[in-house]
Amino acid sequence: MIAEIISTGDEVLSGAVVDSNAAWIARRLYETGIAVGRHVCVGDDFEHLADVLCKAGRRTDIAVVTGGLGPTVDDITARAAALAAGVDLKANPAAMAYIEEFFRRFDRPLSDSDARQAVLPETAEPILNSVGTAPGFTLTIGKCRFFFLPGVPFEMRKMMKDHVIPFLENEAWQGGTRGFYREKRISLFGLPEAHVNERLADLTDMIGGVKLGMLAEFPVIHVKVSAFGQDLQEIDAMLEQAADLIRKRVKKFVFSESGQSMEEVVGQLLKQRSATLALAESCTGGLIASRITNVAGSSDYFLCSAVTYSNEAKIRMIGVLPHTLETHGAVSKQTAMEMARGARRMADADYALAVSGIAGPGGGTDEKPVGTVCIGFAGPDESFAEQHCFPFDNRLANKKIFAEAALNRLRKTLKSEP
């Protein structure tokens, strides 16, 4: 059973948008035990798309198509699918009822172009979209079962999870030709990709049948081991063996083996201790607080962040001494420590984390170049500060790596790791 992934839209074709949908769909299909044969991307060109759909229908068993289902003029996918399947377009009553209900719920008027989204190839079955207006649909073209989904990532993902994957997992439909796919992801921070690679290069030779992948999601690296086959027990044993080897080689840098982000790991540790956290952020400008509060339920442990961008704010909001700023500068271990202590005191928190650094592009000196960051920590038993220097001169890269390093320091302290 081979699948193809077809992305549509001028924005993707012209490179204005990177096609991350294709990679996400490919991973889900592999997990379901379905191998992917190719990805294709075409623009908003009706005839070209119809041609691609026709050919895929002759060549492959399953195809997932994204994009071009919305209400706008460049949304030509349903028309192209109808041409490729050799059927007419027709307003689909189930899709229409759903769109009407969606607009009623939000008390919005239904326009003609909204209603056009319910016009589907007449042999199509709609796939309902619970988070947007454009319904998807499934139909057969040639020998291939097609799934048409919106290009908006969160709508597409929800419809894949709720409808497409359950359909594909149905053994009856598959006729038993599926294999098993398993993967394990180990997330690292603090070791450059080339070094991770070097330490793990011989892994696939040592454990045959295991594939090694590396996904850099700056500044974090996810090492992925995966295997595909007929015997589930054998696959699981191989993956566990591979994971053991990875742990042995890069243990110090592992922060998660469950796909959890750094802020989720830290949140869990705080919850386990029933402890509260306050932050004081300078150069990260609220990024750490924003990441912490991306986690639902973070109000259980997160109290506040003083984003003290100016020196004046550091003095007013968390009581950093003007003398400290004058003597040591805003980016110093002394200031970072006072920021952490001040935030802890001000918020009456169990722990406080503080960051002050130089994200660039300006502001660097010979002594403290762009990429320098001081991380302060204050807790009931100890407080400390440390200084790091990262080799980037990009502002956003520095904000990201400063935030990750600070959260990682907090994680290690909460776990009492060196």
8-state DSSP, 116:
G
27 binds a copy of itself (CB under 8 A): yes
Q: Which of 34, 64, 60, 63 is nearest to 179 (CA)?
A: 34
What's the CA gap between 131 and 369, in Å, rounded?
A: 46
Q: CA angle, corner 225, sides to 211 and 160, nearest 5?
A: 100
Binding residues for a copy of itself restricted to 109-168, rule: CB under 8 A: 111-114, 131, 133, 152, 154
Q: Which two tokens stand for residue 394?
A: 């990009």
Binding residues for a copy of itself restricted to 219-278, rule: CB under 8 A: 224
Q: Which two tokens stand for residue 33?
A: 């035990």
Site track 399-418 with a copy of itself (rule: CB under 8 A), x = hit: x-------------------
25 binds a copy of itself (CB under 8 A): yes
Q: Which two tokens stand for residue 146?
A: 């097609």
372 binds a copy of itself (CB under 8 A): no
30 binds a copy of itself (CB under 8 A): yes
Q: CA angle, corner 279, sides to 278 and 283, nearest 5?
A: 175
Q: Which of 4, 173, 146 is nearest to 69 (CA)?
A: 146
Cis peptide leading into residue 219 (ω within 30°): yes
What's the CA gap between 356 and 340, in Å, rounded?
A: 10
- Residue with smaller CB distance to a copy of itself, 172 or 194: 194
One of 91, 97, 214, 237 touching a copy of itself (CB under 8 A):
214
What's the CA gap between 255 and 271, in Å, rounded?
A: 17
Cβ atoms 163, 145 nearer than 8 A: no
39 binds a copy of itself (CB under 8 A): yes
- Residue with smaller CB distance to a copy of itself, 38 or 415: 38
One of 11, 122, 162, 386 touching a copy of itself (CB under 8 A):
11
Q: How far is the CB of 193 from a copy of itself (least distance, A)?
A: 6
Binding residues for a copy of itself restricted to 290-329, rule: CB under 8 A: 290, 292-294, 296-299, 302-310, 312-313, 316-317
352 binds a copy of itself (CB under 8 A): no
Site track 165-204 with a copy of itself (rule: CB under 8 A), x = hit: ---------------------------xxxxxxx--x--x
One of 218, 232, 272, 415 touching a copy of itself (CB under 8 A):
218
Residue 107 CB neighbour total at 10 angstroms: 6
Q: How far is the CB of 409 from a copy of itself (least distance, A)?
A: 18
Q: Which of 410, 190, 363, 401 is nearest to 284 (CA)?
A: 401
Query: Using CA atoms in the order 322, 325, 330, 331, what is the torsion angle rounded to 10 degrees?
Result: -150
74 binds a copy of itself (CB under 8 A): yes
Stretch of 90-98, 136-144, 237-245, 360-368 lying at the interface with a copy of itself (CB under 8 A):
360-368
One of 1, 13, 89, 269 touching a copy of itself (CB under 8 A):
13
- Residue with smaller CB distance to a copy of itself, 46 or 384: 46
One of 37, 179, 190, 319 touching a copy of itself (CB under 8 A):
37
What distances in angstroms separate CA 153 from CA 18, 44, 157, one per listed residue?
A: 12, 18, 6
